[in-house]
Amino acid sequence: MKRVYVPLALLIVLILFPLVVTDAYYQHLMILVLLWVAIGSGWNLISGYTGQVLFGAAAFFGVGAYTAALLLSKLDVSAWWGLPLGGLVAVLIAFPFGWICFRLRGPYFALATLALNEIFRHIATIWESLTEGMVGILVMQTFISKIPYYYIALALAAGSVIMIDVVTRSRLGYYFVSIREDQDAAESMGINTVYYKMISLCLSACVIGLAGALYTNYMGFIDPKVVFSLHDISIMAILVGIVGGVSTVYGPAMGAFIMVAIQEVFRSGGFGLLVKLGKATGWPVMATVTKYVSEAHVLSFGLLVIFVILYLPNGVVGDWSTLRKTLLFWKRETA
Amino acid sequence: MKRAALLVVGALAISLICLGISMAADPIKVGVVLPLTGEQAKFGEIEKNSFLMCLEEINKAGGIKGRPIELLIEDDTGKPDVGRSAVEKLISQDKVVVLSGGYSSSVTYAMCAVAQQRKIPFLVTTGSADKITEQGWDYVFRLNPPVSEYPQALESFMKEVAKTQSVAILHENTLFGQSGSKEFAALCETAGVKVLMKEGYEAGAVDFKPLLVKVKAAKPDMVYMISYIMDAALLMRQSKELEFNPKLFVGGGAGFTLPEFAKNAGDAADDVFSADLWSPKVPYPGAQEYFDNYGKKFGSPTEYHGAEAYASMQVLADVLKRAKDLTPAGVREAMLVTDMKTVFGPVKFIAYGKKKQQNQLPTYLVQWQKGTLETVWPKSVATKPYVYPILPWAEKKK
């Protein structure tokens, strides 16, 4: 029963969130978190459950984003149609890619996805007559309030988590895991590994593409460097997955929250707390500390990953019981 | 018991600190968003320093009606979503009355959209994509000219002096390179100048010889290059190696005007022209002083981005002084009627073409002469006569 109640309670909290917290800044951060929940979940399905490490999430993200943007700029169709279509087009890209590249295994497949990412970034950069190149494409935001975006992002995030939950508990999920554990054994058991890897990749691409299309609608401006970014999208998707917990249903959700929170805490110097402290105490040291802390967010990502891999190899959610025990133990000792 | 006491003391200390903050002289809060980390950090740093330098001078002179200005500088890390977070925070938490900054166009666009929606005036410092002021947004003002207007001075030079017949355009594949080269190609076509080739390259490339051999074979009168520092220097050094001698080498601003360019390219930089928005020798009050003071204070030279930032701060101070009430709407009213001189040139926000609330500025043509950057065109502001046509590499060596 607990399996249903805890997520349900969380969902209700998330539904009520924008009604309680009306500050647009926090609403914006939560929209980013929800967007990353969807991307992380998509990544987790193909990389975590099926074991085919995806280094090119940005390829699908960018294709979804560009689908929405091009619909508006070329065909004058509302970018909202791009939301379903973005997912579809991402799948259409994933299909031939999988067809060719599922011959590759392990790191070779990962490298192929990396190449896919770069290929699309170059196409979007050079094909100026279609994509405007680095000039980028502008889309006017439909709503001024953040609440509609919030609920769409929430629906996408919840949908992708539920999708993972349903898929992984079905026959399909067991096939995926068997492929991850030993592809040859799975093949000899009569599982059509290419077919099931393809299903996994297409589902992932669809979710990530949807997130990309939503990004276009919400941010209102895209260019190749932003949406096909290796560092800011592809690697971030992996970090979200690893920190939260690879092949856990709620891992990416936790990972997304942690990553967005860390980035923001560092960037804003602990939400401006350090600056205030510096002013109140008048110590010049504080200014230096603030400066370094706010410049250290990239470093913090690295340290976090090292910490997680060393002490929580299954991620925060995957090693939740260990984490809880450690925390409880620590509490008891200090009390 | 001890712990409880500690807690009480701690809470008291924190509340006292908070009280102290609210009791300090009430500054006027201005938000500035710049890339302080990431790839664009170098320019973000120059702009930040310039903002703070000007701020110090303003506050020393008494601030605005006795109140100091407080700059809340946030880092956008070069990403649009982060820039947006920063602006949301500045508006809803810090309650700033006006925003400024904005380096890369994509980040600037995302931030301006928020500012417009929340009705907080945004003075764009650098973000140069034409579209930003073409949205009909009435809370967005732009200090720098849009990228399409950078080569204006070059156009008149080509027509009146060089009588250029054909050009080859090389550009990095960035917003700056792509939109700049497209505008320049269109400009050449209307002026009857033949564009022999227009090629992009990946920013950060190192071997340009295959590209330059192709350009050399096309025999253009002029080569126009839009590049950053390293590629600009390499393009010139490799042109020299290949004995490639067009009548004119022209850079489209950016990398070609930085001191590092001359350092890296050595004597291959000599006689190279560049479009430029600003140099310390422009005839605007305070420009030379700003350049000298910056060098003294930070130990490295500044360039046009810094001047843009310094001028932004000058405009902000002027606007805040004139604003009838210090609300976003009041500041916007005051900004609309801005008419002043800054180190970056005269500032006035006007509507023309598709643009709205855009500042118009003349641009310049500069030339490297014996290691220093001289303004050579238009003649009225020239510091040295131009050297044209330029000597072939082989004759220069003597």
What CATH number did the domain enclosing B199 receive? Answer: 3.40.50.2300
In this structure, the answer to whether residues A178 and A276 fall within a common structural domain is: no
Distance from CA of A243 to the nearest CA of B (A): 20
Residue B53 has pLDDT above 80, yes or no: yes
- A237, A265, A293: which is the final residue of a domain? A265
In this structure, the answer to whether residues A219 and A73 fall within a common structural domain is: yes
Distance from CA of A215 to the nearest CA of B (A): 9
In this structure, the answer to whether residues B117 and B255 fall within a common structural domain is: no
In this structure, the answer to whether residues A211 and A318 fall within a common structural domain is: no
In this structure, the answer to whether residues B182 and B101 fall within a common structural domain is: no
Residues in B touching A32 (Cβ below 8 Å): 81, 85
Per-residue pLDDT tens over the stretch A245-281: 998 999 999 999 999 998 888 877 766 677 677 777 7
Per-residue pLDDT tens over the stretch B63-101: 888 899 999 999 998 888 889 889 988 998 889 999 999
Task: Please check whether residue B15 lies inside any domain of the structure.
Answer: no
In this structure, the answer to whether residues A187 and A94 fall within a common structural domain is: yes
Which of A41-55, A282-296, B18-32 has the least mean pLDDT? B18-32
Mean pLDDT of B119-133: 90
Task: Please check whether residue B223 lies inside any domain of the structure.
Answer: yes
Q: In which domain, by residue range, is B304 found?
A: 27-146+284-359
d(CA A62, CA B88): 25
In this predicted structure, what is the pLDDT of residue A36? Answer: 96
pLDDT, greater one: A270 or A140: A140
Q: What CA–CA distances, in Å, run from B102 to A144, B78, B110, B381?
A: 21, 10, 10, 29
CATH code, domain with A212 = 1.10.3470
In this structure, the answer to whether residues B261 and B375 fall within a common structural domain is: yes
Which of B3-7, B243-247, B387-391 has the least mean pLDDT? B3-7
In this structure, the answer to whether residues B107 and B72 fall within a common structural domain is: yes
pLDDT, greater one: A104 or B16: A104
Q: In which domain, by residue range, is A144 found?
A: 2-265
Domain count for chain B, please give it: 2
In this structure, the answer to whether residues B219 and B121 fall within a common structural domain is: no
Residue B350 has pLDDT above 60, yes or no: yes
Residue A203 has pLDDT above 90, yes or no: yes
In this predicted structure, what is the pLDDT of residue B224? Answer: 93
In this predicted structure, what is the pLDDT of residue B60? Answer: 92
The minimal CB distance from B173 to the residues A133, A272, A298 is found for A133
In this predicted structure, what is the pLDDT of residue B23? Answer: 44
Residues of A contacting chain B (CB within 8 angstroms): 23-25, 28-29, 32, 125-126, 128, 133-136, 138, 140-141, 144, 219-223, 225-226, 232, 263-264, 267-268, 272, 276-277, 279-281, 294-295, 297-298
In this structure, the answer to whether residues A158 and A247 fall within a common structural domain is: yes
The minimal CB distance from A24 to the residues B92, B131, B179 is found for B92
pLDDT, greater one: A154 or A308: A154
Distance from CA of A186 to the nearest CA of B (A): 42
Domain count for chain A, please give it: 2
Which B positions 14-53 lie with beta carbon below 8 A of chain A?
Answer: 17-18, 20-21, 24, 36-37
In this structure, the answer to whether residues B86 and B131 fall within a common structural domain is: yes
Task: Please check whether residue B102 lies inside any domain of the structure.
Answer: yes
Residue B377 has pLDDT above 50, yes or no: yes
- A214, A233, A265: which is the final residue of a domain? A265
The minimal CB distance from B178 to the residues A133, A138, A232 is found for A133
- A247, A265, A283: which is the final residue of a domain? A265
Per-residue pLDDT tens over the stretch B217-247: 999 999 999 888 788 999 999 999 999 999 9
Nearest C-alpha in A relative to B34:
A267
The minimal CB distance from A295 to the residues B36, B106, B113 is found for B36
Per-residue pLDDT tens over the stretch A33-69: 999 999 999 999 999 999 999 999 999 999 999 999 9
Mean pLDDT of A187-216: 94
Task: Please check whether residue B169 lies inside any domain of the structure.
Answer: yes
In this structure, the answer to whether residues A28 and A96 fall within a common structural domain is: yes
**ipTM rounded to 2 decimals:** 0.75
Q: What is the 3-state secondary structure (H, E, C) of chain A?
A: CHHHHHHHHHHHHHHHHHHHCCCHHHHHHHHHHHHHHHHHHHHHHHHHHCCCCCCCHHHHHHHHHHHHHHHHHHHCCCHHHHHHHHHHHHHHHHHHHHHHHCCCCHHHHHHHHHHHHHHHHHHHHHCHHHHCHHHCEECCCCCCCCHHHHHHHHHHHHHHHHHHHHHHHCHHHHHHHHHHHCHHHHHHCCCCHHHHHHHHHHHHHHHHHHHHHHHHHHHCEECHHHHCCHHHHHHHHHHHHHHHCCCCCCHHHHHHHHHHHHHHHHHCCCCCHHHHHHHHHCCHHHHHHHHHHHHCHHHHHHHHHHHHHHHCCCHHHHCHHHHHHHHHHHHHHHC
Please say whether the beta carbons of B29 and B96 come within 8 A: yes
Residue B397 has pLDDT above 70, yes or no: no
In this structure, the answer to whether residues B178 and B251 fall within a common structural domain is: yes
In this structure, the answer to whether residues B257 and B391 fall within a common structural domain is: yes
d(CA A175, CA A193): 8
In this structure, the answer to whether residues A107 and A195 fall within a common structural domain is: yes
